[in-house]
A and B are shown apart, each in its own frame.
Chain A
Amino acid sequence: MLKDYFIYSVRNLKNRGLRSWLTMIGIFIGIAAVVSLIGLGEGLRITVMSQFGFLGPDVLGVQASGLAFAGPPGTGVVEPLSDEIADKIRKVNGVEASFNRYIESVTVEFNDRQEIGISGSVPEGKNRKIFEAMVNLKAEEGRLLKDSDTKKVVLGNNFKDNDDFGKGIRVGDKVQINGIDFEAVGILEKKGSFIFDNVVLMNERTMFDVIGVKKEEVDVVAVKVDNINNVNQVKKNIDKLLRKERDVKEGEENFQVQSPQQTLEALNSTLFAVQLFVYIIAAISLAVGGIGIMNNMYTSVLERTKEIGVMKSIGAKNSAIFTIFFVESGLLGMVGGIIGIILGMIFAFGLSAAGRVFLGSELIQASVSLFLIFGALLFSFTLGTAFGLLPAYQASKLNPVDSLRSVK
């Protein structure tokens, strides 16, 4: 019986053609926004997590930031951290280890092809083990670096099957870094992190002596805290020390002490703000869509008053009339929802594909779960019926004789 009401409802919606479609616009804009947003949001969260998530909560990074007051105005020169800072930080209460890290862009040449890569330094001595544990560094092929290595590199997992060089780099292969011959001694395990999967790791000293990086200009000081519960206190201590060292007032810091967790949270809260904004827009268009459905259904009840009278005269109970209109409004919502889901998915996956093509990165990822799809469908159906409730009730309560007497 419900199936027959269904067929009848579909006929009526088709009969109202353009009006039905117009009614659904609000719904499908709203649902499309929600689906693409949740889809991209989930994907983005997964990406963000994999970029930074492997760093423990007991790690802090210290970086120089802001414009240096010493430089000529407008040149944007940053006053770098000096190489003694790490030693000073190590003496701060609650710090277990601290060491300098250098990051430099280099050219990588292999198989007669050249690419730009990011090289990162590996500290030597006892800090090596701490660094390896900190980022959970493991070789998939070959080995990690030793103190005695010079002109040796360990490469991120993406080099193993990188098409850019025509063929993948294997352990034992010769590569030219900035035109100098190096040997690849190891390939890292896949991390899912854009940074680490593309990194060229070399010993700190190699970086100074062979590449020519200045020892005095540290890019990041990595700090390991001895107790996770003290992270915030340690951060404050380091802030204080650096303000003194760099002679800046509170609020005018030209450096940053950040934990990966904080970075994640900062990213998440930015994401959340954007999401909130789109959700509000989605909610507004869904409300407009819902009111549109209500309006459409009221009009339809008016137009079909006579039909309702006829159906009652041939045995339709109030409940049957109610169901007919109820199903119809639910269908309006659901069809709007289906279109919205499709549009939302096209948008989300389109954007992530565009990211791959134009930015060449996997950073924007869409992930639309089955749960999301069914949730959106159920929601749009419920929305339709919620706004169809009153019109359907009104239709069901119509007096049969009066409805039959109505002209149309």
Chain B
Amino acid sequence: MAMGKKMTSAIVHLTLILATIVTIYPVLQVISISLRPGDSLYSTSLALIPEGATLNAYKTILFEKPFLLWMRNSLLVSITVTILGVALASTAGYAFCRYRFPGRGIGLMSFLISQMFPATMLLLPLFLLLKKVGLLDALPGLVIAYVATALPFCVWTMKGYYDSIPVDLEEAAMVDGLTQIGAFRKVTLPLSAPALMITALFSFITAWSEFMVARVIIQSLDLYTLPLGLESLAGTFQTEWANYSAGAVLVCIPVVALFLALNRYLVSGLTLGGVKG
């Protein structure tokens, strides 16, 4: 019995350790490359911190390339997408959860179905739509595209969470003196913090790391977002690998910071089912 348990535990841990290594190795590799002095992608050295490590690449990226401009564009787009995503998903999810209206079932189902197609399939229709409304090569166009792709998941997340909050609470708040909207704001929304965090994070990351849609919609160099900018560093004849890697590391930092900051909510958010009332 005890042996069996120990074996299971050992196997589980071994698997986890392997998975962790597989996940972390490329990241370490990128960091390592970003610290190399030359532009050598391939090096026989396995040292994490390469010989003659330097932060030159970071300096180059930050001050000699329009990295800060890309960062500004990306932040602008991602933050707008996050705000819109949270605002729309929290209200739409509420409507889907609490009200019965014509088209409710179809609406929920079409959100789900839209998730079954790869995003690339949306490229052409998105392009045509944005062209029609004159938002090609403009950040608002990009925002609309990202909100549209993030929304189905977010609405489902919010709806699922609201479903787990007893209606009694809102009714008590209404008897206590609030309107339904007031009850939603004062009771349901604060209780939905974990789901709101997931929605926010998902919206942000969707916008932050997206490349394909941006590539198609954005042409002007000064509207480049980070993924577009990074890609432009990979030249046709020669790629400045150290700069490229340094850029990649810098791009990751805000996302990692966000994850760490919201970690608490995420954990409780992912175990939502068990937490009631």
Partners in one complex: no
Enumerate chain B interface residues (CB-CB to A < 8 A).
Answer: none
Enumerate chain A interface residues (CB-CB to B < 8 A).
Answer: none
